[in-house]
Structure 1
Amino acid sequence: MDKQVQIIDEKKFFRLPFEKGTFCLTEETLNSNSKFRNPNGYIRIETKELSFRNEILTLSVKLPEEPKKLVYLKVTEKELLVSCNFDTDQTYLSRYAYFALWNQMRYSKAASFEEYYWPDFFDPKTGRSKYLQIFNDRRGFDINLRSKYPSFYKPGDPLLELKDDLDIPKDEILPRSLAENLPITDKALGFALADTNLSSFHSNHYPFLVPLHGVISKDRERIKTFASFHFNEDDGSELAMSHDQKELSKICFKMRELAPVSNSSWHDAFVPNSEELEKGKQLFKLWHQAYNLLLTQKYVYFFHTRGLKYVKGKPMRSWMRPCEFKKERPKLVIKRIDKGDYFQIELAFRIKRKLNSLHYPNLTFFLRPETNWLEEYLLESFNDWLVVSFFAKTKFKMAVLKPHYKDEFENFMRKMSERYEVINS
């Protein structure tokens, strides 16, 4: 195996560009850089992945009645570098290199090489990586970070860019009264935070507030039996509601109209389009309008809906979890920890000077501490949510090799430090 690994002068690599913003090489690009073709696809090509050392993937390629040759691939941010132990240089792609690449994309007219993009993660002296676990079996390579490391930033990864117009002005409604003289009855109005995974493939939605009513317990501390959700002002008309509850319910109905977002495939992270981004901004503003009113309510719940289509009829008791909305506003904090060869970047938040870790998965528009996910803190700005969403992709903890902590990433951290507290350790 080691005999097949060698250091190749990058000047001897032939360069093939990826599709913009991806690590995909298309058959069209391959053909535009070579005169070779597989006539009618009848040539039998055998390829095998042999090693992945020093960022170089070594393949063997066998064409009919010809000896095996070795092809070397190196993935960079924008190009695939290709070499061969026979007849390939920076100006010419050998027949063996062409067919090795063609065989990677024969069924889909394109091939992604993203899994082999690990710049600077290998020791150039040994060819090995202390960061990666690399397994090779008959199906090819499995390349994973070792469990002791968080996700790493790599050059070219998208970074968050904050904008001033996303700092939505607050428009709070103050309660008229913390207590009103209402008739004593066994029925009570409650409110549930309806939430789901924005990246699921169900009927997705932003978190919104939905009124409901049910029968309360003898000690009047909880709703023991849930009767129905409310979706308009006529629902629950037989209930005696305070002025604040009526105002809060009106906001809830507006929230529901803005809540739906498009479905996503299970493996894709939710990225709002321009319309969904605007709906999110307006919904976030409604949360700020409602929040002081909500803090006065006794019966509040968290409801993981599993999709908007499940928010109907009678609430299922097993799905309703009592939660607590907190009046304190969280302050985001970014920790930068020097780990020797890399920096570890973590997102945390402060409440009354105390530093808290975030619970994963995150809740859109809110923070909740790792110690109690049913404590909900409303974020101060829409930009705050974008920051939380960005870090949530790596479970609020990411690493950056020191050679990569420059240019784009350093500029990103500088912009973060202009808005948020950065702690160095």
Structure 2
Amino acid sequence: MKRRKQRKEELIMADEMMLAGKPKSQFFKLPFENKTRILRLNVLDSHTELRAGNRPYHMVERKVLSFKKGILTIRVKLENEPPVKVYLKVEYDHLLVSCNIDTDENYLGRYAYRTLRAMLWNEYHDFQQYYWPECFNEATGRSRYLEVICDRYGVDIRLKKEFKGFFRPDDYFLHISERKVLERKNVNDVLATLNPEYLIGYCLANTDPVRFHSNHYPFLIPYSFSLNADNKTVKSFTGFLFEEDDSIEQSELSENQTELNSICYEMKKIARIQFREYGDSDERSDEIDDLNFSNKRKIFELFNKALPMLSTQPFTHYLFTYGMRNIQKRPMKKDMQVARFSVEVPLLNFLLSDKGDYYELKLRFKVKGKVFHFCEDRIAMFFIGSSSNPTVWYLLECEPDSRVVLFFSRKNFKIQVPKGYYKEHFKPYVEEIKKHYELEIKYKHRHGRD
């Protein structure tokens, strides 16, 4: 009878997941703060009578040995004691803790406690960097998604380049806003005729909205220039045209150019992004956010109005400004890139693919039913370009589309989600996308569709 009971226990242990040579059920559990991977000191202390004194990190030598199968192994040495190993495994809402000396599911041992207490020197610790569920092969211990480097400085865990968009449970995902599509006027495909006495072109000025101090939304700037002998290419740019010193006679401009110039000047007035200052009240911060959003929406409306006229201009360029303060009187020829603006409407298109162990959600766009892939260097908030023809710019169908493109551009336009938690943590986002955009699904196998 005793042998039968022992055999039953062995079978149960064989079926149970083993972590660092122990059944998972024998690890001590410490709960995280709700919807985070943060462990608070008061939570740790509520699970044990042990205490570490006023200098909890003193006399505790720690060295990370490895991060395999999601288990962080730390070599710990207390003063005048032999070293031991402490094991930490980050789960969705709790931390699993064990040690090769003590600690089980009912008791948090001294070595494990002192290790955690040293990590919580600021009364909390965020274990998010060690949370990589469904990322490791149980047989080999390796990860197809991660690069793990352990050295004397600790452990460095980073996503491989091809998995830049990897999604973990509770990672941020963009809220898909209601889309208000503006009417877009038809356009005559014939290019406007040049006035050789007053050569005017138009430049899309853009910068990264994240990196630079004098940030601005994309806007149009008219410029004057001279032609080469072939009358087809720019010889030199003689200057940007600003409203305050626009010296060109209005009578020499076409009706479209006059209206375009007016739109350009209106854009520039509201293009600069306002920033919060240290010490701003909540009310002031809200005012700044509201102003920026209002200006962004107005600029998109102006682009929508300008596009039919802009697309017929024979000379148009693109300029990455690195900030509003760098827009000088005269554009530098080496910075001005030839551009063409299409009136065709790009429609965002998502492709959900079965990649075996994971699903991949990819953002593309379609023009006249043809699929295009994004060019990373050709995104100017409201405008996008394709990798196959990056000189052609397309104005997005509506302002919310620009937020979708920006979000996915930071993830190389594709998001990977392991199948183990796709249904619970990511499928609702896919269902929401289907309400607003075209979604195509590519299955790896005919059977077992999710």
TM class by shorter chain equals 0.7 to 0.9
* Alignment correspondent of 2:350: 334
| Structure-2 change in CA distance of 1:217 and 1:153 (3 Å) | same
Q: Which has the larger radius of gyration?
A: 2
Give the equivalent residue in structure 2 for 1:209.
220
Q: 1:378: how far off?
A: 0.5
Paired AA for residue 273 in structure 2: V
The answer to whether the 8 A contact 1:233-1:250 is kept is no
Per-residue CA distance 1:59-96 (angstroms, 9 max, x = gap): 12111112223222122344433333445456654432
1:121 to 131, 135, 142: 135
Indicate the SS of the match to 2:304: helix
One-letter amino acid of the counterpart of residue 212, structure 1: Y
RMSD: 3.1
Alignment of 1:281-300 (within 5 A): 281-300=297-316
Mapping 1:254-403, distance limit 5 Å = 254-261=266-273, 273-361=289-377, 362-403=379-420
Asked whether the 8 Å contact 1:170–1:289 carries over to 2, the reply is: no
Post-superposition Cα deviations, 1:229-283, rounded to whole Å, max 9, x if no partner, equal 223164233462222112111211222233222579xxxxxxx945433332222
Bigger Cα displacement from structure 2, 128-137 vs 154-163: 128-137
- Which amino acid letter does the alignment assign opposite residue 317 of structure 1? K
1: CA distance, partners of 2:273 / 2:359: 36
Identify which of 148, 154, 159 aligns with 1:134. 148
Please list every run of 5 or more consecutive structure 2 residues that lacks an aligned counterpart in the other structure. Answer: 1-17, 277-287, 443-450
Separation in 2 of the partners of 1:216 and 1:297?
15
Identity of aligned residues (%): 34
SS of residue in 2 equivalent to 1:151: coil
Answer yes or no: is the 8 Å Cα contact 1:201–1:263 preserved in 2: no
Amino acid at match of 1:61: V
State how far apart, in whole Å, the 1-side matches of 2:205 and 2:131 are.
Answer: 39
Secondary structure of 1:360's partner? strand
Matches within 5 A, 1:73-112: 73-89=88-104, 93-104=108-119, 106=121, 111-112=125-126
Q: CA 1:312/1:27 → structure 2, altered by over 3 Å: closer, same or farther?
A: farther
Partner of 2:258: 246
Q: In structure 2, how many angstroms separate the alpha carbons of the residues matched to 1:201 and 1:335? A: 33
In structure 2, relative to structure 1, the CA distance for the partners of 1:80 and 1:353 (3 Å cut) is same
Q: CA deviation at 1:401?
A: 1.0
Distance 1:200 1:115, change over 3 A: same
| Structure 1 gap segments, 5+ residues each | 265-271
On the 8 A contact 1:14/1:89 being kept in 2, the answer is: no
Deviates more, 1:232-241 or 1:357-366: 232-241
**Across the two proteins, how many residue pairs are aligned to each other?**
411
Q: Which amino acid in 1 is paired with 2:319?
A: F
TM-score (ref. length: structure 1): 0.85
Structure 2: distance between partners of 1:56 and 1:285 = 52
Write the distance in 1 (CA, Å) between the matches of 2:305 and 2:35. Answer: 40
Per-residue Cα deviation, 1:6-60 (whole angstroms, up to 9, x for no partner): 3442563231424x66545455765676652342468222101112222111112
- Once the two structures are TM-superposed, the CA of residue 408 in structure 1 deviates from its matched residue by 3.9
Structure 1 residue 329, shift from structure 2 partner: 0.7
TM-score (norm 2): 0.81
1:89-141, Cα deviation, whole Å (9 max, x unpaired): 566544323332343354x6654433211101123344443433322211122
